[in-house]
């Protein structure tokens, strides 16, 4: 295998790691795709199908982390069912309106609005739920970064 392929692979892995820091960008799927292409080019000599299957499992799990951890954060900060749904819907709406700002403002605003309007909670409690949503969301980003680093480190260990 040529050095150029290894360099290109490492560049794509670094791009995937950076993308993992930005919610809803497919950093972990890019890392998995890079590992898969490398395995095919290398004729599965160093990266086995079993290794790829374990990396695919991590990739699939990563899709649920953003919503799940945001939900857990909101729940820990006292969200009602309406607040949880507000956070999820606000997150989707926020990303559609403005992916950069909406990623944090959407879930926060959705949770606060749902707590105020549907659950009839006071402003202080609604804001606490909104903050919990953001805390959970940021925690999810950190967790996804840890998964991505694990994938890259496992790959480097495999090939060297």
Q: What is residue 79's DSSP assignment? A: -
The sign of the CA dihedral 125, 127, 130, 132 is negative
What per-residue string of b and e applies to 78-99 under the rule 16 or more CB within 10 Å gives b?
ebbebbbbbbbbbbbbbbeeee
Question: What angle do helix axes 123-159 and 49-76 make, rounded to 10 degrees?
Answer: 160
When the pLDDT of each residue in the chain is averaged and rounded to a whole number, the result is 90
In this prediction, residues 93-106 reach a mean pLDDT of 83
pLDDT on residue 140: 83
More confident residue, 23 or 84: 84
**Which pLDDT value is given to residue 65?**
79
Percent of the chain residues topping a pLDDT of 90? 59
Token pair of 79 as six digits: 């969200």
- pLDDT tens-digit profile of 40-73? 999 999 999 999 999 999 999 888 876 677 778 8
Structure tokens at 24: 């809803």
Would you call 17 helix, strand, or coil by DSSP?
helix
Please name the residues in contact with 44: beta carbons below 8 A apart, sequence gap of 6 or more: none
Query: Which residue ranges make up each domain of the chain?
Result: 3-159
Q: Out of 36-45, 106-115, 136-145, which region has the weakest mean confidence (pLDDT)?
A: 136-145
């Amino acid at each position: 295998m040529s050095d150029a392929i290894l360099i290109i692979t490492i560049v794509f892995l670094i791009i995937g790691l950076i993308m993992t820091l930005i919610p809803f960008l497919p950093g972990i799927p890019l890392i998995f795709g890079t590992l898969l292409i490398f395995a095919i080019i290398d004729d599965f000599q160093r990266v086995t199908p079993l290794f790829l299957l374990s990396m695919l499992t991590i990739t699939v799990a990563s899709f649920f982390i953003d919503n799940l951890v945001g939900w857990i954060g909101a729940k820990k900060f006292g969200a009602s069912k309406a607040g949880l749904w507000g956070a999820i819907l606000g997150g989707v709406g926020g990303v559609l309106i403005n992916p950069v700002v909406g990623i944090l403002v959407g879930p926060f605003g959705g949770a606060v609005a749902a707590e105020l309007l549907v659950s009839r909670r006071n402003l202080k409690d609604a804001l606490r739920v909104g903050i919990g949503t953001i805390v959970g969301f940021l925690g999810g980003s950190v967790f996804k970064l840890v998964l991505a680093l694990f994938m890259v480190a496992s790959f480097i260990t495999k090939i060297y």
